[in-house]
Amino acid sequence: MILDSLVQAVGNTPLVRLRTIEPPGVEIHAKLEWFNPGGSVKDRAALQIIREALARGDLPGRTLLDSTSGNTGIAYAWIGAALQIPVALVMPSNVSEARKRIARAFGAQVIFSDPMEQSDGAIRLARKLAQEEPSKWFYADQYSNEANPRAHLLGTAEEIWRQTEGRVTHVVLGIGTGGTVMGTGRGLRAKNPDIKVIAVEPAEPMHGLEGLKHMPSSIVPRIYKEEELTQKLAIDTDAGWDMA
């Protein structure tokens, strides 16, 4: 296979069976989203957001701006490099050094927000910049942009259904922007309304699980609809790290 552009390599990631943690009579599969070019599931949402913005004519003459804790920023940065779109990212200054270096290596401008305000501080700063200079910035707003869950409705859910030959009964996803769990859940329930959609979040406001949101203490993303979930689980930070 020869691709015309690296963006065509996003999606169609494999599943791997996790036999060592399966209880009797249950199959557990993990979807390997690090197979995406940017190394995370966020490549899907970033690409869909950019594709829809290009189709509307929102990007020419402006710089794509968004807040991010890291993975979406890396996705914007490499896709922007591939498609020759300028990108600026607002990140808490305490995100990992690796994420800062990778975003800059792809040519993105990095703007730092207060680390104590975590991802919410980055959101507030990005909104302020966009309001002050709307002609300079295209504010992608991954937390409110319906292209985010749509990427998973059209892609992730279809892949899981096809890969499991329709045998999937439960899907468990972390909450960051809410796009992955909302879109994947909707797509799978359109195939089978009995599928259980389970979201996981950090148990504490000050947690060490980068990219995930503790919803009770956060600005709730507009695209996140908790009433669509079957269940939400709070995961202790140490337990999350240990399992990963």
Q: What is the pLDDT of residues 101-113, one digit of tens each?
A: 999 999 999 999 9
Q: Are 91 and 99 in contact (CB under 8 A)?
A: yes
120 vs 109, residue with greater confidence: 109
Round to whole Å and give the CA distance between 44 and 152: 7
Least Cα distance to 72 among 142, 144, 146 occurs for 142
Strand ranges, E, within the chain: 15-17, 29-31, 63-67, 87-92, 109-113, 137-139, 170-174, 196-202, 231-235
Whether 210 has a pLDDT exceeding 80, the answer reads: no
pLDDT digits (tens, 9 = 90+) for 144-188: 999 999 999 999 999 999 999 999 999 999 999 999 999 999 999
Its CATH architecture, for the domain 152-243, is 3-Layer(aba) Sandwich (3.40)
**Helix, strand, or coil here: 190?**
helix
- 113 Cβ contact partners less than 8 Å away, ≥ 6 residues apart: 67, 90, 91, 92, 93, 121, 122, 124, 125
Q: Which fold has domain 42-139?
A: Rossmann fold (3.40.50)
Whether 99 has a pLDDT exceeding 90, the answer reads: no
- pLDDT tier at 117, thresholds 50, 70, 90: confident
Domain with CATH 3.40.50.1100 in the chain: 42-139, 152-243
pLDDT digits (tens, 9 = 90+) for 39-69: 999 999 999 999 999 999 999 899 999 998 7
- pLDDT tier at 22, thresholds 50, 70, 90: very high
pTM: 0.94
Whether 70 has a pLDDT exceeding 90, the answer reads: no
Candidate from 79-83, 117-121, 155-159, 175-179 with smallest mean pLDDT? 117-121
How many residues are present in the chain?
244
Candidate from 13-22, 149-158, 211-220 with smallest mean pLDDT? 211-220
Mean per-residue pLDDT of the chain? 95
Q: What is the pLDDT of residue 208?
A: 83
Phi, psi of 98, deg, nearest 5: -60, -45
- pLDDT tier at 244, thresholds 50, 70, 90: confident
Round to whole Å and give the CA distance between 46 and 40: 11
> Quick check: is 232 catalytic?
no
Angle between the 97-105 and 71-83 helix axes, to the nearest 10 degrees? 10
Structure tokens at 48: 């869909």
Alpha-helical regions (H) of 31-117: 42-56, 71-83, 97-105
Catalytic residue among 42, 100, 128, 213: 42
